[in-house]
Structure 1
């Protein structure tokens, strides 16, 4: 494992602990363990370091847990960042639903305030009716309660979609990755239309983030058959597994000997 990779794995082990496993195959188990002055030590399947103490679990090599390491671990960090971003959208949309419903139920009092105060401000020479925000408010007040309810329902449905994406991405489910790509792609034409109406930093940033997320998921996770599809993705993950590398060495593949622990490395 290269130093660039090991930094990610070591951080994960520092947070979650080493992941050790004793395979039933004797020769393979011998490559993953060593005796030290303080007892037996087993190689972590994630970072490759030795950890003193009995293994966390054991069984046939083919039943060993599939560990996030190498490229898969780096991808997991990015994908979970996208999950957090979806959670943030869910919260904002939820606030939007609450705001629309509150506005719908308070339209009469807001209308009365506007009808009372706007003429007074105009008489004082303050023409706030020319402000875009005030015009938007006046237009919103003309909407029927039923239409505002439909807007709230639409925002709620969008919020639930974002929540489903967040759950699927955070738990690293393939369906979540497909859902994120499809759902995000569906809204890209709408975002392009908004950009055509006027360039703003918010809309530009939103479009760039969504476009980058779609491209990253398609390329890195090999969705929709891209770059060999699911079979190639799974093969790549298996090829990064420490147990797979050591099993290849046992079978006679040209893999180097397992590193022996240093005096201060057995932990």
Structure 2
């Protein structure tokens, strides 16, 4: 099975490349700029076709949440138009596409974990552009899985885990928001889930369970609780540690509003694909361990 993933440096793309190593029946190919540039739609179809995929993973995206408020045209060009063009390429080639989306399509006002059927209401440009991307994938007419995830971290790139470890190396105390809740999700787990779903689709010509799914870590916490677990784990492995002081969202103003509730129910994905992410604490420990062991 040849899996072609858009983007070379994203957390999920790099996790997929790592997961594909040593699997003779699996080839993971990452394509990105300049051959494939989602901001230049004319490059997309040719680049994907040249890679001869069995399944396309649409992982590349504009992810600068605050900067998107100042660059809405670019955010929509990449996350909406670009995503739709990736799905169109998959349709033309007659292969499925797995498109990654986000909890930011919701406004965070729900009392519990969001289901796939809950109404969307993005708070800012980034969320609106990702929702438009979902709609573009559907409109392209491809066989698709849309996987919404949240609070993604990994050993790669920039993310909350790496930020906490960096700050703890220089500070005795870190202030972290305590009134936003979600499911920390390891990109390593996302890659494992994608490979699991891709294998099912590739091996079953009668597979029809396409559509939108939520895919997030098991269990929930707030940002400050996440930070404490990261730093406690770091100290256990001899890494940096700092105290975490809770603050409110209003004490840490950002250009883009964040959902207060980013919890996603992954029950549908578990039921259809027989795969569930590990507890978020376990997955966090696995990523932190790699920084020191």
The normalised TM-score by structure 1 is 0.21
Q: Which one has a bigger Cα radius of gyration?
A: 1
